[in-house]
Amino acid sequence: MSGEPEPAQDEPAPPLAPVPYGPEVFVQASAPPEGMQRQRLHPLTPLLESVRFLTAAAAAVGIQMFTSRNFLFAVYAALAAAVVGGIASLIALQYRGFVIWGRELHIYGGVFTRSHRTVPLDRLQSVDLVRPLRARVFGLAQLNIEVAGGDGTDARLAYLKADRAMELRSELLAIAGRPGARPRVEASEEDVEAAPAGPAPLVPPVTVRKLAVASLLEALPVQLTALVVFGTAFAVTGSIFGFSTVATTLWVGFFAPALLGYLQSTVATVNRFLRNCRFRLTRDGGNLLIERGLTDTSHETVPVDRVTAVSFDEPIMWRRKAWRRVEVWTAAVAQAGGGNVVRSTTALPVGDPAEVALVAAEAVPELPAVFAVERPPRRARWRMPVRWKRTGALLDERVFVVRHGLWVNTYVALPYARIQSVRVVQGPIQRLQGLATVHAMTAGGLGHTAKAWHRDVREAVAMAAELRVRADAAAALEAPRLS
């Protein structure tokens, strides 16, 4: 029929162009050539990494020697450990090393199971210089390399000579286009006098006395509560069933585990105190430089343009003194670990309101340090009777702020430009009460998601919509946007 279209005839496809259209693109090989020489780590690396195992083995040998009084056994065990450890170290060093190939860092390791890790330096976030006590004795250091969008510390180079570690750090940052200041290391008085003065600290140094008092006050409530609970339980049950029987039962069932937990808590407090001693915060261009540590020293770099959140912690015993701690979260650090195991960088271990405000403004420009959050409705009070007064949320001019905590009162501030997704969650009991919770997640999937708990459902929907609008508007003004 004349109205029907004629069937299309098969025609040959046009020939391909001899070369692709568009600009010429240089494609670099994904791995260095096979014969390329690897840069080796320090020969003491296997020994330093197995120091815990060697300590445990030495303790076991010492106990055996003390109980059996066989000193030859200790000598033979030490010789065998030295021979086996030396051979294992030589074998391990043959396969461990790294290569800088173009704009990539290739790290090799493993003996029975080989590993080859590639770190794209285009996405390099920071290179931190860490010097554990066991490495400082031999003048060594390690580099922790973090990549934006990675899972925390993506690579670790341990151990290198301290001067070589600093040279490699500068080289990696230069390749990535993120130059940073050279970390300060221990030096003689003549070197200090000859060296040029570095950037001035942003806040006065935290004194040892202030840090010790702050650490003690932070740990005191939990430890005192544990002692009071177990002491009361012992007194009550002892008066009823007899102190001798109760003492034996409580020691085996409760006191021994509780003592172990008490010691672990004490050790954690001491480690935190040692880690934050000699704290120094400076600014170098777009980076915050943090130096800390008494036994294990570290030199950390926090790129300000990668900050995704700032949190302010206020332990219950600090409130009279108006002290607070400032934690800074970045895109790579936010994803460290799995589940809820997240690591942040302490930008100020303890400070007064003026110091906290200064550090907050350095981490996020014009970020306030004091927030007047709004509590959830009163009908949500029964869900958190103790925490209700210390829970709230706020849509600030520049950040989204949530408040939570009991022993430690915490404010979490998320810049709108860093918010990548917002959702409203409503459980079955919340649905009956007309409540909902707003979740705001930042770039990279921050495990420390900001949650506005138990808001009125209409308020929660309006808050989520406003967050999306503000996040899109803030991100549009940012160039480049954080990936």
Looking at the DSSP bridge assignments, the partners of residue 393 are 374, 402
User: In angstroms, how far is CA 425 from the centroid of its own chain?
Assistant: 28
Distance CA 216, CA 270 (A): 9
Nearest residue to 172 (alpha-carbon basis) of 138, 193, 147: 147
For the chain, domain boundaries: 45-184, 208-276, 280-477
Nearest residue to 437 (alpha-carbon basis) of 426, 447, 449: 426
Residues in the chain: 483
DSSP conformational letter for 364: S
Q: Say how many CA atoms lie within 13 Å of 478 toward its Cβ.
A: 17
Q: Do the Cβ atoms of 186 and 137 come closer than 8 Å?
A: no
Distance CA 50, CA 67 (A): 26
Q: Do the Cβ atoms of 154 and 176 come closer than 8 Å?
A: no
Distance CA 186, CA 204 (A): 20
Q: DSSP string covering 195-220, please?
A: SPP-PPPSSPPPPHHHHHHHHHHHHH
For every one of its 483 residues, what pLDDT tens digit does the chain have, with 9 covering 90 and above? 445 555 555 566 666 656 555 555 444 546 677 767 888 888 888 778 777 666 766 776 677 666 766 667 667 777 777 677 767 777 777 778 898 888 889 888 877 777 888 888 888 878 889 998 888 989 999 998 887 655 544 588 888 999 999 999 989 988 887 765 566 655 444 443 444 456 788 999 899 999 999 999 998 887 788 778 777 777 777 777 666 766 666 665 666 666 677 777 788 889 999 999 999 999 988 889 999 999 889 998 888 888 889 999 999 999 999 999 999 988 754 444 443 334 578 999 999 999 999 999 999 988 998 999 999 999 999 999 989 999 999 999 999 999 999 889 999 999 999 898 899 999 999 999 999 999 999 865 545 689 999 999 999 999 999 999 999 999 888 755 554
3-state SS, 282-319, equals EEECCEEEEEECCCCEEEEEEEHHHEEEEEEEEEHHHH
Question: Which fold would CATH assign to domain 45-184?
Answer: PH-domain like (2.30.29)
Tracing tokens 């869900």 back to the chain, one arrives at 383
Helix, strand or coil, per DSSP, at residue 274: helix
pLDDT of residue 25: 46
DSSP conformational letter for 421: E
Q: Which tokens is 483 given?
A: 């990936």
Nearest residue to 414 (alpha-carbon basis) of 349, 367, 373: 367
Q: Do the Cβ atoms of 274 and 296 come closer than 8 Å?
A: yes
User: In angstroms, how far is CA 325 from the centroid of its own chain?
Assistant: 15
Distance CA 230, CA 250 (A): 9
Q: Which tokens is 234 given?
A: 């012992």
Looking at the DSSP bridge assignments, the partners of residue 104 are 101, 120
Q: Do the Cβ atoms of 459 and 466 come closer than 8 Å?
A: no
pLDDT of residue 314: 95
Q: Do the Cβ atoms of 401 and 391 come closer than 8 Å?
A: no
**ω into residue 480 within 30 of 0, thus cis?**
yes
pLDDT of residue 111: 72
Q: Say how many CA atoms lie within 13 Å of 352 toward its Cβ.
A: 8
Q: Do the Cβ atoms of 137 and 185 come closer than 8 Å?
A: no
Q: Do the Cβ atoms of 81 and 59 come closer than 8 Å?
A: no
Q: Do the Cβ atoms of 289 and 181 come closer than 8 Å?
A: yes
pLDDT of residue 119: 86
Distance CA 449, CA 309 (A): 10
Looking at the DSSP bridge assignments, the partners of residue 300 are 290
**Side chain identity at 460, as an amino acid letter?**
A
Tracing tokens 């160039």 back to the chain, one arrives at 479
